[in-house]
Amino acid sequence: MDIRNFAFELYRQSLDSAADGRRKELPEELSAHDRAFVLRLVQTTLRRQEFFKKIAARYGARKISARPDAAQTALLLGMAEILYFDTPDYAAVNSYVALAKKKSGRFAGGFVNAVLRKICSDAKELSALTPLPFFPPAFRKMLTGSLTKTEIDAVERASLTEPPLDITARENPEDLCAALGGTLLANGSIRLTNAGSVRALPGYEKGAWWVQDFSASLPVISLGDVKGKTALDVCAAPGGKTAQLLAKGARVTALDISAARLQTLAENLARLRLTAENVVAADALKFLPTAPKFDIVLLDAPCSADGTLRRHPEIVHTRTAADVAGAVPLQQKLLTAAAEAVKPGGTLLYAVCSMCRAEGEEQIRRFLKNRKDFAVAPVSATDICPFAPGEAEPLLTKDGFIRCRPDIGAGMDGFFAARLTRGADITVEEKTDTYYN
């Protein structure tokens, strides 16, 4: 079995499918060892693509395009294996020359051979360099306007290596943390480094925990005690936040437009021994206008997902400002529709795994301008990080929103969340004065 061929295919699929969120699967027959090798090779290459382009140019390779062609893909994967893996140089060069020939002909093999041999000669020096840039110009441009240049540089540096694995415990995070040998984070998440295969970790089969980044766990934690409350999770699949609500005792209706993703949600909840009151496959824009009212409505809206770039490095090569602009109108419609399902006195929780203000702060500002009956319920440090409130301070904006970035603290996904309450007597002037001046 040619595992480098799987890496080649997965790499190209990652760059093609990132925009539409299709899942990238490796064949079942791949052993756990080979699977881990392929995934690490592809992720490393995606994280180093811009850096490798710069190096390849130094060695006389023609310009590598944003979507590398077959020969360029073989070259990039070969560079990653030579610089960051233990494979003997001759074996790596031979493998990628053969791969390039198979995919693109004899000439491509010659090109890959010439460049990789030079890389081998200078491998010690090259592998010791800080592998920047990570972000291509279009991705930087997308973040400009939301983050300063210094912040973009910091996010880029903080995202250069594989992140640790964060998990949320169904109950007793301290005990589980001790059993797993992890670190208990300020919000109660457990952080594991070099975790290996998720399914092989203790407690997976018994449903004692689920994978969820530190930042993604914060919105539901900010709700405090939800026991017995009714909650509508408008964009629920694959179910990380639904599971949190259920574990805290809420009565949850989980809604999603994607039946396939809801199937994953159902499998996840079954493993966790958690049960939603209702699971609904529907377009929220059709469901919400006639929906009953809930104590809590959570809208974890579809977005550019740029905040997940540490675990999905293909995102930096595929997302542009056009993706943000494309996501905003649907988020706006979903927010307007979701508001209708909130009981008076209830809570509307809006979240996106995006670092762009257009998908976060600006959505909420626009919404509040039009909805006199909603106001921000500012999130406090103890709301989200009861185990160490001091660590939450950098995550809270002056308006009381949650704003996470990979370069903050010990690292986390980029994320935004706003907690809003529905009342009846709040004027536009009051809201503007309180939260936006």
Residues annotated catalytic, as ranges: 353
| Residue 138 near ligand SAM by CB under 6 A | no
Stretch that binds ligand SAM, among 183-191, 283-291, 376-384, 386-394 (CB under 6 A): 283-291
Among 284, 358, 395, 412, binds ligand SAM (CB under 6 A): 284
Q: What is the DSSP string of 372-399?
A: TTEEE----HHHH-TT-GGGGGGGB-TT
> In angstroms, rounded to a whole number, what is the distance separating the alpha carbons of residues 289 and 337?
7
Q: Are strands 183-184 and 209-211 parallel, antiparallel or unpaired?
A: unpaired
> In angstroms, rounded to a whole number, what is the distance separating the alpha carbons of residues 330 and 29?
40
Among 78, 182, 238, 360, binds ligand SAM (CB under 6 A): 238
| Residue 240 near ligand SAM by CB under 6 A | yes
Among 81, 295, 300, 359, binds ligand SAM (CB under 6 A): 300
Among 18, 257, 341, 355, binds ligand SAM (CB under 6 A): 257
Query: Cβ 302 to ligand SAM, closest distance in Å?
Result: 4
Q: Which two tokens stand for residue 238?
A: 């694959």
The answer to whether residues 53 and 19 touch, using CB atoms and an 8 Å cutoff, is no
Among 50, 156, 166, 256, binds ligand SAM (CB under 6 A): 256
Query: Cβ 136 to ligand SAM, closest distance in Å?
Result: 24
Among 26, 154, 285, 426, binds ligand SAM (CB under 6 A): 285
The answer to whether residues 415 and 218 touch, using CB atoms and an 8 Å cutoff, is yes
In sign, the C-alpha dihedral spanning 63, 66, 72, 78 is positive
Alpha helices in 292-405 (DSSP H): 315-318, 321-339, 361-370, 381-384
Query: Cβ 256 to ligand SAM, closest distance in Å?
Result: 5
| Residue 332 near ligand SAM by CB under 6 A | no
| 332 Cα distance to chain centroid | 21
Nearer to ligand SAM, 83 or 364 (CB): 364
The answer to whether residues 307 and 353 touch, using CB atoms and an 8 Å cutoff, is yes
Query: Beta-carbon neighbour count of residue 190 at 10 Å?
Result: 23
Nearer to ligand SAM, 190 or 216 (CB): 216
Query: Could you list the residues that contact ligand SAM (CB under 6 A)?
Result: 235-241, 255-258, 261, 283-285, 300, 302
